[in-house]
Structure 1
Amino acid sequence: MHRSTTRIPRALAAAAVPVILVTAGCSSGDDGGDSGKPSSAAPSAESSEPQIEPAKFAKLPDPCGALAKDSIKDLVPGAKSTAGKAGKSADTSQRSSCSWDGLDGYQWRWLDVSYQRYDSDPAVGSGADRAAEYYGKQVKGAEAVEGAKGMKTSAPSGLGQKAAGFTYETTEDKQDYRKQTVVSLQENVVVTVNYHGAGFQGSDQPKSADLLKDAEKATKEALAAVK
């Protein structure tokens, strides 16, 4: 009797399985019911993606053509070429730079203009936010230049959405240099201008205040080229 009792529940369980499957299969075909319709509250894949602001600028200007030739002649007297020397870049639509240097008598000048642009990306943020983050890093880097003496900071107006200026001096191989850096932010683009000057062979050193004004002038022109 014990064996027959054990077999009955097993048989009933086996018989119950098809019934459950059939019932589940029929539930989706219930006429007139809403259970088979997709819920309007269910979020779609598209709506679940974060919405970010598109980047304003989709390209960068040619850095070597960002400043007028007359500006180069004024900022870098005795420049070897107003065409400048382009910096290396794996993608000039994202990052580019150009530099000029010249010696007029014993007065030496060096100018470097660099651009950094960011696209908007749902995974990392808007182009404007990414550029703002890079701007902050550039500012911190300018504040912490190794060997800088007499560091002075400023907040130039009229240069993009915001800008920071840095004036300092360095001594290299017993030669004094006056150096300026201006970092500016415009939407999803950061412009960094470095402008250095020196008087060789005992000639007068350029005034830092004058160099800073020239660096700001170059920055304004470089920003205007971003379109």
Structure 2
Amino acid sequence: MQRRAQRDQQDQRAKRLHRVLVCAAAVPVMLVAAGCSSDSGSGDSTDKAANAAASASASPSPTVEAAAYGKLPEPCKALSKKTLKDLVPESKSGKEGKSDDISTRGSCSWNSLDNNGVKGSQFRWLNVSMLRFESDASRGSGDKLAQQYYEKQVQDVQAAEGAKGVKSEPVPDTGDQATAVRYDLKKKEGTFKQQTIVARVENVVVTLDYNGAGLAGDKSPSSDDLAKDAKKAAKEAVAAVSEANGAGGGKASGDPSKPASKSPSKEPSKEASKGASKDSSASPSKTPAKKS
């Protein structure tokens, strides 16, 4: 009886030890399973991030059409000698405006005073300014930037301070688009007849200012005659832009199938743009210097 009791006690202790060992073995199995589950979630998140980065890097970077024209003509040589003789007959030479980059901005002006003694005198002032825009991926193509500047330039001319009887009209066969604005400007020296042609050819904007006045008792010039001369000169200035860039330079060359000029250039700075606007809107009523 005593031996049986001892064996029963030993069997119970063995069973309890077995249960403890079984439970102990089960714990690491659960931990391993939990660890695998956690790793799996982290891996999915990492894969998604990697796929997103790869997709972003595979997206093509934005591109913009190259500008047609890469340079400007010499502004004081943009008009023929005959045209200058007709518009500013008493002018000896043009005065070139200052520019920090002649490939993006240029201007030239001429003064003419025909003194007729006691009969008075005829004054003429002519100015040509050009501004070229380069294509930029963040801002758009050179054509688009020139288009925006062209529209603003026309609006600024139409709103000139002191202008009387403002009239505007399109100018055909002058670049891609052109607008003529005319008005009178009365000053103490006399009434000045102002003519401004704003034209865009590809990525270049040309602004031509021409005005005349009869001084010291001489009669005022005809606005129609001045407008006719201004349009002729503007057409020459626009053609000079195409010629400066070679026969293959842009649509204005007459053959849109030819490649655009690839001449390297810089985007005109904000200061240059402001300066060009100031040149084109210069006061036509500047008192002419009298002949000695």
Q: TM-score interval w.r.t. the shorter chain?
A: 0.7 to 0.9
Matched, 1:137 2:152: yes
Distance 2:90 2:71 in 1: 31
Structure 1 counterpart of 2:223, one-letter code: S
Q: State the Cα deviation string for residues 49-100 of structure 1 (Å, max 9, x = none).
A: 222111000011110111112211111010032xx11111221111111000
CA contact (8 A) 2:113 2:123 kept: yes
Distance 1:182 1:203 in 2: 26
2:55 equivalent in structure 1 = 42
2:74 equivalent in structure 1 = 62
Structure 2 counterpart of 1:89, one-letter code: S
Q: 2:95 aligns with which of 73, 76, 85?
A: 85
* Equivalent residues, number: 207
Bigger relative CO (Cα 8 Å, ≥ 6 apart):
2
Shift in Å, 1:173: 2.1
Matched, 1:124 2:134: no
Q: How does 1:200-219 map to 2 (within 5 A)?
A: 200-219=215-234
Shift in Å, 1:14: 9.7
Q: How does 1:88-167 map to 2 (within 5 A)?
A: 88-105=98-115, 106-167=121-182
- SS for the counterpart of 1:221 is helix
Distance 1:13 1:107 in 2: 103
CA separation of 1:18/1:46 partners in 2, compared to 1, >3 Å: closer, same or farther?
closer
CA contact (8 A) 2:189 2:216 kept: no
Identity %: 47
Q: RMSD of the TM alignment (CA)?
A: 3.1
Distance 2:32 2:188 in 1: 93
- SS for the counterpart of 2:211 is strand
Structure 1 counterpart of 2:125, one-letter code: W
Distance 1:180 1:13 in 2: 90
Q: State the Cα deviation string for residues 190-213 of structure 1 (Å, max 9, x = none).
A: 100000101111111110111011
Distance 1:120 1:110 in 2: 34
Greater helix fraction, Structure 1 or Structure 2: 2
CA separation of 1:122/1:45 partners in 2, compared to 1, >3 Å: closer, same or farther?
farther
Distance 2:185 2:56 in 1: 59
Shift in Å, 1:21: 6.8
Distance 2:109 2:220 in 1: 21
CA separation of 1:19/1:191 partners in 2, compared to 1, >3 Å: closer, same or farther?
same
2:85 equivalent in structure 1 = 73
Structure 1 counterpart of 2:96, one-letter code: A
Shift in Å, 1:46: 6.7
Structure 2 counterpart of 1:217, one-letter code: K
Distance 2:211 2:31 in 1: 89
Distance 2:178 2:124 in 1: 23
CA contact (8 A) 2:189 2:215 kept: no
Distance 2:79 2:205 in 1: 16
Matched, 1:170 2:185: yes
CA separation of 1:177/1:45 partners in 2, compared to 1, >3 Å: closer, same or farther?
farther
State TM-score, norm by structure 1.
0.81
Matched, 1:223 2:238: yes
